[in-house]
Structure 1
Amino acid sequence: MAAVVLLVAACNGDGNDDGNEDPPSPEPTNDTAEPDETNGHTPVTPSPPATPVSGPVEPTDVDEIVTGLDAPWSIAFLSDGEALVSQRDDATIVHVTDTGEVTEVGEVPDVEGAEEGGLLGIAFDPESPDTLYVYATMGDENTVSRTTYNGDGFGEFETVFDGIPAHPYHNGGRIAFGPDGMLYVSTGDAGNEPSSQDPDSPAGAILRITPDGEIPDDNPIDDSPVYAYGLRNVQGLAFDDDERLWSSEFGPATVDELNLIEAGGNYGWPEVEGIAGDERFIDPEHEWPVEEASPSGLAYHADTLFMASLRGERLWQIPIPDGEAGEPQAFLDDYGRLRDVVGAPDGTLWVLTNNTDGRGDPREGDDRILRVTLG
C-alpha cells in the first residue's frame, strides 16, 4: 500500500513530454523508457466500493495490484469485475483479475506502429458484453476493429472503421461507448495540423459511429463520422451522469485542455490554443501548463472527472457536482507517468502507469496497475 500525496493545483511537474511539442528526431512528442522485462503481480485484498460524494473526492488507499506490464495503454472491464489491458508496442492484450493475476490472452494481428502508434484503446460494447473493440495503428492508417472474447482468447478481428490517418505522433486512440449506444473514437491530427479544421476529415476529431462502423443519421455533420473537430490529439473520453461527453487533449507547447464536447463543435486547433476567447471556437473548460499535464485517460466517478497525466506524472481530479468544472486538484504523484484511469465495478479507480513506453523513467515493478480507493 502506498501513501497518497496531495498537491495543489498550481504545482509544477517534470518529466518527458507526451504529445505537446514536435520534438527533434528521433525524440517523440509525448512518451519515453526502456521496456521492463518482468511480468509479475502483487495480489491484494479487493477494496470495498467507494461511496459517491458531492465535490472533490478524497483518496484513502492506493494498492499496487499488478506489476511488470509492458507499455500498457488502455483498460476495459468485463462484467465480472475483471479486466483486459492493451499493451501498445507488442499489440498484446492481457487479462487481469481483481486479485492481480495476469494472463496474456491474445495478440491483435497486423498492428504496425512507431513511437505513439500501435495497439491503443479498447472497449467492450455494453449491449454485447463479449464483443471487444480495439483501436490500432495498421501502417499508414488507424483502424477500429472488433472481435469476440471467450474468456481464453479472441475470435477473428473484423475491421469496422478505417482510413484514420496514422503518424508516429498524434494518433489519438481512445474509444468509448456512449449512453446512446454509439461508439465515440478520438483521433489526432497525425502531423497534419490543417486537417483538424476540416469537418470532413477523420483526423483531429472525435468520431461518432454505430457499433457496425456506419455513420448515424443524427450526426451533426451530414454523411460524416465527425462529431467534433478542431482537436489536436485527444486521448481521454468520459461521459458524466448527464450524458455529456468530456475529453482531455494535448496542447502543443503551452497548455493542455479539458473540453466539454458539443455536437458539431469546433475547438480551434491549430488556429488557437487553450482558452482563447475567440467566438469562432469553443474554449476548454480548463487548461494546464504542459509540464503539469500531458493528459491521457479520463474517467467520471462521484461527480468528479479524473484525468491521468503523462508528463505531469499525477492524477488530476476536477469536481463537477453542479455541472460545471470546478477547481482541479492533484494527487498520486509517486508513480511516474500515468496513461489511463478507469472506474471499476467495485467503485474504485484503476490507474495505469506508463514508464516503459520509451519516454518514462522505469523503476523496478513498472509498469503497474494501481487501485485507488476513494472516500
Structure 2
Amino acid sequence: MRAGEARLSIDCGSASTVAVLAWADGSASDLSFDGAPYLPSAVYVAADGQVWTGQRAWQAAGEQPSRFIPNPRRPVVDDLSVDSTGVDELDLAAAPLRRVAAEAERTTGGPLRDVRLVVPAGWGPRRRTWMRQVAHRAGLPQPRLVEAPVAVAEHLLAGGARWPVGSFIVVSDVGAGAEVTVLRRGPAGFEVLATLADPAAGGTAIDHALAAALTDGRDVSDAGTGQWVMAQTVRAAKEALAAHPAVTVPLPDRAPVVANSAMLDEAARPVLQRVAQLTCEAIAAAELTAADLAGIYCVGGSAHLPQLATVIAEHAGVTPTVIVEPGSAAARGAAGAGAAGPTVGPPAPPWRAWWRCQCRRYGAPSPSRCPASRPWP
C-alpha cells in the first residue's frame, strides 16, 4: 500500500497524544512511542533550543524542571517562556505532532495526505484555527478537524451501536480534564446539543489528590528530581491500581509507600462526582432527561477508573457504558468519521425552540454561538 492511501488520525490531549493509522482495507492500528500506545504531550526545551518529546522529555525534566512544559496545548493568547527566555508556542505545541508524523511516515514508508485532528467540542474558531497552524508548523498537510464526542459516536456506530436518527447520547470524556457532551444523531451525522468542560475534573486532579495521600499532604520539592518524577510515578501508580489491589510506589527523597484501591477511590471520588455533575448539567442544558437518552458512554484516559460508572449512575440515573480501549476511541472514530450511514428512526423532539430562546437570552447570533451550549472563546 502506498503511504498516501493511509489516513492519520491524532488526538492530542493535554496529557497524552494518541495516533491511529487507518488503511484502505478498513483496518486500523495504533502508533506506539517508546513502547507505549500513546505519546506524552509534555515537552522539554533543551539548552540548544531543540524540543524533546516523550520519555526523553520526562527524564530531562528531573534535572532541569524549569525547561519542562507539561501541557504545550495552550490558547493563542498565552505567553510561554523557558528560563526567562520567550519561546514560540507553536513550535512547542507542534513537537508532539511532528513526532507522530515521523512515526507515521516510518510505518507507511512516506508522507500522508489525509490527516484528521481531534479537538474538544467546546473549542471555538480561534482555537481551531490555532490548531491548524500547529499542524502546519509540524509539517502536516491541512487537517480535517473532528470534534472528540462526534468521533467517539462514529467509532461506536462503526462498532455496531444501533441508534435510530433522532436518538440522543451523552459522551463523557474523562482525560486530564473532563468534557461532557450531549449529541443528537441526525440524518447526516451527529450534532452537538450541549457541551460542558472542567479542566479540574479529570486525571490530573486525581493525581494531585493521590500524591497528597501518599505523602501525607507534604509537598515534594520543586528542585532536582522531585516534582516531575513524582508526577510520573503517581500517574503510573494510578494506572496500575486499575488492575491491581495494591502497588508499591517509590517516592523521591523518601521511603516507598504502598498505595491501595481504597486510597485511589478516596482520591478519585470528589473528582468523579464533579464529572457526574457535569453530565447532569449537560443533559439539562440540552433540555433532556435521562429517559430521553439512548445511552451514556465514558471515554478518555481516566475512564477505566472503577468508580466512574457507579458515580455517574448515582447522579444521572443511567448506568453508563465504559467503552473498550477508551483512550483511543476518539482517534479511531476520527480516522473513519462519516463512514457509517444513517438508519430510519423517529423524528427528534422539538429542541430548536429552546435554543432560540437561549440565544435571545444570551444575545448570541446563532445556536452554535450560544454560551448555554458551546463556549465561544
TM-score by length of 1: 0.27
| Structure of larger gyration radius | 2
**More helix by percentage:** 2
**More strand by percentage:** 1
Q: Identify which of structures 1 and 2 has the higher relative contact order when contacts are C-alpha pairs closer than 8 Å and 6+ apart.
A: 1
TM-score by length of 2: 0.26
